[in-house]
Each structure stands twice: as structure tokens, then as C-alpha cells.
Amino acid sequence: MDGKPAVLIVDYGSSKTIISLELGNHRAYAQNTVSTSKGSGWTGAGVSAKATLTVGPFTWRDRRVVVMDLHELSISLGQKVDGLLGMDFLSEFNLVILDSKHHKLILER
């Protein structure tokens, strides 16, 4: 977001893409409170916002995401996490391959 690199987790269990407070403009959408409770087990309250994400050569423009505090998730994983790529993002592709050995995400439309 804003041309800054980010650490994003692929989360097939999440229906929505979630980004951290640091990446999202959470103040502008404070009235649009949402909560997450299904999927990966990560739960919490956030706000709905529009964001543009670029992952490799693909740009996902002006899409609704959930903006929430991911500080506790970062602590539990032992590294800073900027967001979760949910099924709303992943379903845009015909093929999604997660190469965990080489730490690569392969996306094809």
C-alpha cells in the first residue's frame, strides 16, 4: 500500500482481506465497524475501508478490506504482519499456488 512493501499472510480461511491499522486509513471509515469471527480463528473488530493492493504484477484496485489492529497477531507469529490475503482477493485468480519451501506465492488469472 502506498508503494511500501508489506508482509501479508495467505489465509484461505478468511473470507475478507485484512490490513493493519498502519497500512489503512481507519479514521475515515470509523462508522463502518465490522468484526471477524470465522475462518482462520483470528477474531477482532475493525473497520471497513477501500484499499488498493499490489501483489507481484497484479493490482487489486479500490476494494473493500477490513482494517484492524494486527499487533497481537504479529507477536504470536514472532514477526510483523501487515495483513491477511483472504478469499475475496484469492478468488480473483484461476490458479493460486503457495510454494512454502521457496516462500513464493504464484498467482495466475
Q: Please give the average per-residue pLDDT across 67-91, as a whole number.
A: 92
- Residues 5, 83, 35: CA angle, nearest 5 degrees: 155
Q: Please give the average per-residue pLDDT across 37-61, as a whole number.
A: 77
Classified by CATH at the fold level, domain 8-108 comes out as Cathepsin D, subunit A; domain 1 (2.40.70)
For residue 11, pLDDT beyond 80: yes
pTM of the model: 0.78
Of 62, 66, 56, residue with least CA distance to 86: 66
pLDDT tens for residues 14-47?
A: 899 999 988 875 554 445 555 555 445 556 678 8
Q: Please give the average per-residue pLDDT across 82-91, as a whole number.
A: 94
Domain ranges for the chain, please list them: 8-108
Please provide the average confidence, as pLDDT, over all residues in the chain. 82
For the chain, helix, strand, coil in percent to 5 are 15, 40, 45
Q: Please give the average per-residue pLDDT across 55-64, as a whole number.
A: 90
